[in-house]
Chain A
Amino acid sequence: MNQTSVLVIVEHDNQTIKSSTYHNITAAHEILAAGGELHLFVAGSQTASVAQLAASIKGVNKVLEIQSDELEGQLAEPITSAIVAVAKGYTHLLFPATTFGKNIAPRVAATLGVAQISDITQVIDSQTFIRPIYAGNALATVQNNGQQVVITVRSSAFSGAKETQNSAQIENVTLAQLPQRALLKSQSLTQVSRAELSSAKVVISGGRGLSSGENFALLETIADKLGAAVGASRAAVDAGYVPNDYQVGQTGKIVAPDLYIAVGISGAIQHVAGMKESKVIVAINSDPDAPIFQVADYGIVGDLFEILPEFDKALA
């Protein structure tokens, strides 16, 4: 095996680096425990400030910057071509296990003809990883036997690296035209002023028990006092109470905050898969037999419409 060298694909919005990347860098350092190089890959239509930021992160040896109009929208096809062009020589390519990373990582792996390991939660050594399967009901220890491997990293399982005064070298890479196979027509992003769900220290989530979208205001008031993010169960999303990107669970976001408050959520396997690594779990539910109480540390059985205002008042 060659010397370990890791390329972390930076998730960004052409201005700042998403928190998922900082968690990825921590995972990269664990893979590089026995030494080796850590490079970051920044691709987009406006990369200057992102590349500067990337170069300042502790332990980064080099930043590869690829700026191109074809990378506007960060679609899978042009980004894959850009990554594949520089991938040679890296033993590990790391992506965040976000919709951004999950969309691109397998395409890169297949183009390189190598395997992809999804959603790792632990690094045993540079070739051995732990990842949850069956909605987190089992853990698989997997070993890579190839020369190169593509990995997606579950952000909530690794702490976030801190920025420092590092000044890594930034290398501008120019490539021949990148393939444009699809066109981004429109994006509708949910405007939230609160903390980001996947990196918040406190998350308060609502389920079907909230009965309507308006009632989520009860959670928002409390969230604002706690500096918390607001999440939801699939039932609440399907009922149209909140947008789909609020969803916590196997098919939504995986979170592991210090405190998770589940309000009016029964605790189906698929939801629990997305929050059971939280440090402290609180359940507020009218049904004493709801499965959520089996994973909760604290519970209140009762009417959430009485408990939430009381909770809000107690925080004041």
Chain B
Amino acid sequence: MKILVAVKRVIDHNVKVRVKADGSGVELANVKMAINPFDEIAVEEAVRLKESGKATEVIAVSVGDISYQETLRSAMAIGADRAILIQRPAELALEPLDIARLLQQIVDKEQVDLILLGKQAIDDDCNQTGQMLSALLDYPQATFASQIKIDCGTLQVTREIDGGLETLEMPLPAVVTTDLRLNEPRYATLPNIMKAKKKPLDIIDIADMNFSPLGQVKTLKVSEPKKRVGQCTLLSSATALVSELQAKEVI
């Protein structure tokens, strides 16, 4: 069984983002970048499935500029066998549906049985790509997975839903998106980081693919959210707090 894992390069989740003064976006120059945390969980899960003998090959894929090679190398340091970069110009803005259409072409070419993606990227917070890819492929989908089991070609996924948890069963091939509680990704060790440098990384130029961007949603501007007014009033006791809250009529 082959597994395809889609990974995205995003601002490291610990970085406090700064909105550009001209409203064109957030400051990305000289900011620490990292593999999207949900995607890291997806890679870890794929590697665990390989280690348990359920999968034979794990392929990491990304759509991005040349700097994304580093992100794919981190996926291979976790244990992905090889990687594919769909290289696009840095300034080309793509929507989740564009990414899904590009990934669909890779799935068709590689004939994978399971596609793992993070449930959302922590930059655009869209939570769309996995579901869209699943729709284009007409595969069953299991989003927000906190547990994955594979038995005799059947996939069992426990999903995190608003009221609790639910378990779905579906045939392969399928698309699964990962939630935070699926696993704890391992640290890439130095020998594995060195080994990852030697693993194959294919680069496909987006211009050589059968693709034109959707261009349906345009970002007009990016702005700072409203700051909370005032400062924190420190109180000395819960009794004082209760009277303040009663005065504000919130309790």
Cβ contact of B125, chosen from A100, A103, A250, cutoff 8 A: A250
| Interface residue SS majority, chain A | mixed
Closest A residue, CB atoms, query B123: A134
**Residues of chain B in range 101-129 having any CB-CB distance to chain A below 8 Å:** 119-120, 122-129
Of chain B, the residue at the smallest CB distance from A225 is B251
> Contacting A300 at CB < 8 Å: which of B168, B220, B234?
B234
Q: Mark A73-103, 1 if CB is under 8 A from B, else 0.
A: 0011100100000000000000000111011
Q: A295 interface residue, CB < 8 Å from B?
A: yes
Given the contacts A143-B217, A279-B250, A300-B235, A138 and B140 also touching, CB distance less than 8 Å: no
Tell me, yes or no, whether B136 is within 8 Å of chain A by CB: yes
Shortest distance in angstroms between A95's beta carbon and chain B's nearest beta carbon?
A: 11
In the complex, the answer to whether A115 meets B251 with C-beta atoms within 8 Å is no
Q: Are A135 and B16 in contact (CB-based, < 8 A)?
A: no
Residues in A with CB closer than 8 Å to B241 are 282, 298, 300, 311, 314
The verdict on A314 contacting B238 (CB below 8 Å), with A138-B223, A243-B164, A253-B162 known, is yes
A77 & B140 in contact (Cβ 8 Å cutoff) = yes
Tell me the bound Cα distance from A105 to B244 in angstroms. 43
Once A110-B97, A300-B241 are accepted as A-B contacts, the answer to whether A142 and B125 lie under 8 Å apart by CB is no
Q: How far is B134's CA from A185's CA once the two chains are assembled, in angstroms? A: 20
Option from A115, A188, A311 in Cβ contact (under 8 Å) with B217: A115
Q: Does B219 contact A (CB under 8 A)?
A: yes
Task: Give how many A-B residue pairs fall within 8 Å (CB-CB).
Answer: 252
In the complex, what residues of B have CB within 8 A of residue A164's CB? none
Q: Which one, B56-64, B71-79, B142-150, B198-206, is touching chain A?
A: B142-150
Q: Given A128-B220, A139-B225, A250–B122 Cβ distance below 8 Å?
A: yes
Instruction: Give the contact stretch, choosing among A21-29, A53-61, A63-71, A116-124.
Output: A116-124
Interface mask (A129-156 → B, CB under 8 Å = 1, otherwise 0): 0011111111111111110010000000
Give Cα A205–Cα B214 distance, bound, in whole angstroms. Answer: 42
CA distance A141 to B224 in the complex (A): 11
Q: Are A299 and B232 in contact (CB under 8 A)?
A: yes
Q: Does B30 contact A (CB under 8 A)?
A: no
Residue of A nearest to B137 (CB): A110
| Chain A, range 33-50, C-beta contacts under 8 Å to B | none
Closest chain-A Cβ to B115's Cβ sits at a distance in Å of: 14
Separation of A294 and B179 alpha carbons in the complex (Å): 29
User: For residue A146, which residues in chain B have a CB less than 8 angstroms away from its CB?
Assistant: 214, 216-217
Whole-angstrom CA separation of A295 from B179 in the bound complex = 27
Check if B170 is an interface residue, CB within 8 A of chain A: yes
Q: CA A118 – CA B244 in complex, angstroms?
A: 37
- Pick the contact of A297 from B136, B161, B233 — CB < 8 Å? B233
> Judging by beta carbons under 8 Å apart, are A188 and B166 in contact?
yes
Question: Is A269 among interface residues, defined by CB-CB distance under 8 A?
Answer: yes
Residues of chain A contacted by B130 (CB below 8 angstroms): 106
Q: In chain B, what residue has the closest Cβ to A98?
A: B162
Closest B residue by C-beta to A315:
B242
Judge whether B236 and A276 touch: CB under 8 Å: no
| A149: B residues at CB distance < 8 A | 216-217
Q: Nearest 6 A-B pairs (CB), nearest first? A: A181-B140, A110-B132, A106-B131, A311-B238, A182-B170, A110-B135
- 8 A–B contact pairs at CB < 8 A? A106-B131, A119-B125, A137-B17, A140-B221, A183-B168, A244-B165, A276-B228, A295-B228
Which residues of A are at the interface with B, using a C-beta cutoff of 8 A? 75-77, 80, 98-100, 102-111, 113-119, 128, 131-146, 149, 181-190, 198, 202, 226, 234, 237-238, 243-245, 250-251, 253, 258-259, 269-270, 276, 279-283, 293-301, 307-308, 310-311, 313-315
Q: Identify 5 new A-B residue pairs, CB closer than 8 A, beyond the known A107-B132, A237-B181, A251-B120.
A: A80-B135, A118-B128, A135-B122, A269-B13, A269-B16
